[in-house]
């Protein structure tokens, strides 16, 4: 990533006035990524307004089901173990398409309370194996960790 892009995203994320704004922003980013995959693979695309509305609906459903924004992570539901306090935990994963020799990479950083601090994805047009894809996901995670150098990180490779 170029320095200009890093600066842009750093400034944009630092302007989030609350966790709710950041949650909405990250949910919209995820839905844009999902929409891109749906457009490509399922030939079904959403409008930008539908993406924003779906993001709001998803966050509201999360708040309603948890009784409040979040009270903590129930680790037994999906196997994720939170890091110690004041440490971000970065999880990386990759998907590999053997027929196309392509990969999709994902990175998510969460706090001890389970809040998402940042996430990223990357599509690779040429990958040689599932292991190669996993290694590229780790490299993506390391690159993001360098961008966020002021934080303390704990690494664990698990499915997103």
Asked if pLDDT for residue 68 goes beyond 60, the answer is no
Nearest to 151 by CA among 104, 93, 112: 112
How many residues would you count in the chain? 160
pLDDT band at 73 (very low <50, low <70, confident <90, very high): very low
Is residue 18 pLDDT above 60, yes or no?
Answer: yes
SS3 63: helix
d(CA 55, CA 10): 22
Mean model confidence pLDDT for the chain: 78
Share of the chain above pLDDT 70, in %: 78
Render pLDDT for 86-139 as a digit per residue (tens, 0 to 9): 788 888 889 988 888 899 999 988 888 888 888 889 999 888 888 888 888 888
Secondary structure class of 14 (helix, strand, coil): helix
Distance CA 131, CA 20 (A): 36
């Amino acid at each position: 990533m170029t320095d200009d892009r890093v600066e842009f995203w750093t400034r944009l994320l630092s302007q989030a006035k609350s966790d709710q704004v950041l949650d909405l922003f990250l949910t919209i980013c995820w839905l844009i990524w999902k929409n891109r995959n749906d457009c490509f693979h399922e030939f079904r695309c959403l409008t930008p307004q539908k993406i924003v509305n779906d993001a709001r609906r998803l966050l509201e459903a999360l708040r309603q089901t948890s009784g409040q924004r979040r009270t903590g992570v129930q680790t037994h539901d999906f196997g994720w173990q939170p890091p110690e306090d004041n440490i971000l935990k970065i999880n990386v994963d990759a998907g590999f398409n053997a027929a196309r020799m392509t990969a999709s990479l994902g990175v998510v950083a969460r706090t001890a309370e389970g809040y998402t601090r940042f996430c990223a994805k990357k599509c690779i047009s040429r990958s040689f194996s599932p292991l190669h894809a996993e290694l590229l996901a780790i490299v993506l995670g390391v690159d993001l960790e360098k961008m966020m150098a002021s934080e303390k990180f704990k690494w664990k490779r698990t499915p997103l």
